[in-house]
Every structure is written in structure tokens, then in C-alpha cells.
Amino acid sequence: MRRIYLLLLAVGLSSTTFAGGYRVALQGVRQASMGLTSSMHARDASIAFFNPAGLAFVDSKLSIAVGGFGIMNTSKWQNAKTMESAETDSPLGTPVYFAASYRPVEDLTVGVSFTTPFGSTVKWPEDWAGKANVTEIELKSYFIQPTVAYKFNDWFSAGAGFIYAMGSVNLQRTMSVAGNDIGLEIEDTDAHGLGFNVGAYFRPSQKVNIGLAYRSKVDMKANYGEVTWTDVPTALSATMPFSSNEFSASLPLASEFLAGFSYQATERLLLAGEVSVHGWSKYKSLDIQLENTESGETYDSKATKNFIDRAVYKFGAEYQATDMLALRLGYYFDESPSPAEHWSPETPSTNLHAFTGGIGFKFGEGFYIDAYGQYSMGVERYVHNVESGFEGDVNTNAFIFGLGLSYNFLN
């Protein structure tokens, strides 16, 4: 008779996650400086991302827009019950965009945009209280969107784009089994997904522009991503999940519906307002499957997210101080999609009051330089994740700056 022994260890991977929806709505410097109003600003090709139809109203045959941003984001956490606190030391986030449009025949405009509309870079202290959730995360996405727009008449156009999305994720955390810290890093640089973008643009009078657009959800799928464990006790090294070497996961990048309106109040003053509705409710849970490719064993980690659809209200103004210089201001209110009972520090999300301001220079007939700065002021909230037990007061704030160039060839 073989020796009978009993399994002493049943090891559980705590139910936490690696990424949340983090929309970075920075795909045009001028738009950003006017409180993110976007769907009706058809100055240059950068509107392709926001509203494909708008390309038809860009008043040049060829338009090129390019820009970049720097995001300095800080998240803070404290728990008054245990008197613990921590603060992120996140590296500079650098979203960029490039867009070009061309009008081969009258009324038909084609274009392409390259953007980084979702992403997150968060670095918490190595040994902070929430290290089992996350110590560091870097989530990137790249959207390539070929676009076509058709102008039906002087006041209406429609457009559509196809989205090919690529992405990468790197998440690091320090888990613990009975007090034995075990490092986990998952990385995939080859995630991808598909989506589309449709829109309509109205110009009922020379003073009024209206944009309506819908961008679909994009499911970013990571397959065969790399899993690296560190400091695994010998006794656990052959046990799942610590023997896993690959992971698969899917992350929904939320859909967005935009309805915007601008009004040329005076010859020099442009006012804009927009509401965007973000389909975060598709982010119900984050399921990560870890796999040991040698043995075929799998391990499922599920974290409830139950995000909520949210509307963002945006207001912007542009004052053309001189023919060359424009001054811009804006404000928007961004409500957190993450409910307090499922809040997780890899997506440190709070309600935000965002104040934007910027300047624009115009040289010659169609060369623009735009610069802007933004302060996003978080609204303190109390969170208590019922699954992970993450608890405390959290707040975030961000300082963002950006520089953009646009060139419209007026031929």
C-alpha cells in the first residue's frame, strides 16, 4: 500500500485585479484646452478621433495634426482606522496623437488618426498596504483609425472610422501566502482589439457647429502574456498559481457617445459645450486566467468591477485676442465610474473637477501651435472594496500640459 498523505496546503490567489478602465481624453491640444469639448471643433484633422464626420468640415484639402502631453498624476490613500497612508510616485504619462486628412474629390475626405486614448501609469510604494493589489501598473493603448467622411451639403456631413487597437500591460504586485511575500509580474505587449467610430456633423449656420458621434467599445485581448513570479517558497513552486507562466485577459475600453455644440458668440469669442456618455458598465469584472503551459493547469482570478456608465459635462471658450493669438479656457466634471465597494488602487479613480487653459498661435494661413495646461482636482472619497478588503480615503489630482502642431494645406 502506498503511503497516504494529506494535502496540507490549499493556496488561494486573492481575488484582485490588474487593470481598470482609464480613459485619457487627450487627442487634441486645442480641444483639451477648451474643457475637452471636441466633437464640433473641425479646425484640423485631429477631429477624426472624436467625430469622423468632422473631417468633412476641415477647410483644407490636406490637414495634419500632431501633439503630445505630459500627465503628472498623484493619488493618495489613507486609512484613519489603522493610521496608514501612501501616495503614488507615478512617472510622467505621455499620451500622443497624430492625425491626417485628405480630400481627393470634392465632399469626400479620408483620414487616419493615431491616438493613445486609454492608459494608466501608476506607481505605489513597494511596501505599501495595498501591495497585494498593485505596486506598479503600466497600461497603454494605441488606436489606429482609418476614417472616411462625406459632406452631403453645406450644413451636414457623416463619417465613419474603423479602429484597430493595440496595447500593452505590465502589472506588478506583491502577494502574500501566510505572510510569505511573493512577487507577481504580468506583461503582454501584444494585446489587440477592434472597434469603430461613426459620427454626424451639422453646421446649421456659420455661427453654430454641432457634432454627434459614437465610438464603440474595444475589447482589448491579451493572450499568452508573460507571467513572472519572484520569491516563491520552494514548497509552493510547483503549485498553481505560482507555477503559471502565461496569462490571458480581456479589458473593455469603454464606448463613448458625444453630443457637442459650439456657438460663435462674437467675432472673437467661441463658446462650446459638450456631454459625453461613457459606457463603463461593460466593465463588470476583470477575469485573468493564469496557465501553466507545461502541465496545462489553469487558475482563474476574478475581480468584480461593476463600473457605472458616466456622463461628463464639458464647457469651453476660445477668445481670439489677435489674429495670431487665441486664449482658451475650459472646465469639465468627470464622475468616477468605479463604485466604492469595488474600488481598486490600480485604477485610482475619483470624481474630478478639471480646469483647463491654453493659448494658440496661428502663423500664416494654416499653421497652428497650441499649448495648454490643466489641473484636475479630485474629490475625496471613502472606498471599501468588499472583495479585497482595500479600505480608506482616497483622492487624486493631476497636472497636465500639452503642445500641439497643426498644418492645413489650403489648396
Partner 1 sequence: MKKMKNLSKIFIAASLVAFVSCDQDFDEPIEDIVVTPGDADFSKYIALGNSLTSGFTDNALFISGQENSYPNIIASQMAIAGGGAFTQPLMPDDIGGFSNLGVAGRLKLVINPETGTMGPLATPAQSPLTMVNGSVNNMGVPGAKSFHLIAPNYGSPAGIGSYANPYFVRFASSPTTTVLADAAAQQPTFFSLWIGNNDVLSYATSGGTGVNQAGNTNPATYGGNDISDPQVVAGSIQAILETMRNQVGAKGVIANIPSITDIPFFTTVPYAPLTPEALGTETITTLNQTFSALNQVYDALGTPERKIVFNPEGPSPVVIEDETLTDMSQQIIQAMMAGGADQTTAYFFGMAFGRARQANENDLLLFTSQTVIGQINTERYQMLLGYGLPEAMAAQLSVNGVTCALSDQWVLIPSEKQAVLNATDAYNAAIEQLANAYDLAFVDAHAAMQQLSSQSGISYYGNNYNTTYVSGGAFSLDAVHLTGKGYAIVANLFIDAINLKYGSTLPHVNPNNYPGITIP
Where do contacts with partner 1 occur on this chain (CB under 8 A)? 1-6, 8-12, 14-16, 74, 76, 78-85, 129-133, 173, 175-180, 233-236, 266, 268-269, 319, 321, 327, 329, 355-357, 373, 375, 377-378, 380, 387-391, 393, 395, 397, 399
Query: What is the nearest approach in angstroms of partner 1 to the Cβ of residue 379?
Result: 10
Cα–Cα nearest to 128, from 68, 86, 185: 86
> Given the complex with partner 1, which of 327 and 403 has the nearer CB atom?
327
Please state, in angstroms and rounded to a whole number, the distance separating the CA atoms of residues 347 and 334: 15
> Given the complex with partner 1, which of 33 and 115 has the nearer CB atom?
33
Query: What is the nearest approach in angstroms of partner 1 to the Cβ of residue 280?
Result: 22
> Given the complex with partner 1, which of 11 and 308 has the nearer CB atom?
11
| Residue 104, preceding peptide bond in cis (omega within 30° of 0) | no
Query: What is the nearest approach in angstroms of partner 1 to the Cβ of residue 271?
Result: 11
DSSP code per residue over 130-174: TTTT-SEEEEEEEEEEEEEEEEEETTEEEEEEEEEEEEEEEEEEE
Place of cell 480646469: 355
Query: What is the nearest approach in angstroms of partner 1 to the Cβ of residue 3?
Result: 6
Cell of 14: 486573492
Cell of 97: 496623437
Please state, in angstroms and rounded to a whole number, the distance separating the CA atoms of residues 75 and 400: 14
DSSP class of 80: T
Place of cell 456659420: 206
Please state, in angstroms and rounded to a whole number, the distance separating the CA atoms of residues 360 and 375: 18
Q: What is the pairing mode between strands 62-79 and 325-334?
A: unpaired
Report the SS3 class of residue 280: helix
Where b means 16+ CB within 10 Å and e means fewer, 104-132 reads eeeeebbbbbbbbbbbbbbbbeeebbbbb
> Given the complex with partner 1, which of 321 and 324 has the nearer CB atom?
321
> Given the complex with partner 1, which of 155 and 375 has the nearer CB atom?
375
Report the SS3 class of residue 204: strand
Region for residue 20 given its phi and psi (left: phi exceeds 0; alpha: psi -120 to 50; beta: otherwise)? beta
Please state, in angstroms and rounded to a whole number, the distance separating the CA atoms of residues 98 and 374: 21
Query: What is the nearest approach in angstroms of partner 1 to the Cβ of residue 163?
Result: 33
Query: What is the nearest approach in angstroms of partner 1 to the Cβ of residue 372?
Result: 11
> Given the complex with partner 1, which of 74 and 306 has the nearer CB atom?
74
Query: What is the nearest approach in angstroms of partner 1 to the Cβ of residue 69?
Result: 15
> Given the complex with partner 1, which of 44 and 318 has the nearer CB atom?
318
> Given the complex with partner 1, which of 321 and 410 has the nearer CB atom?
321
Query: What is the nearest approach in angstroms of partner 1 to the Cβ of residue 71?
Result: 13
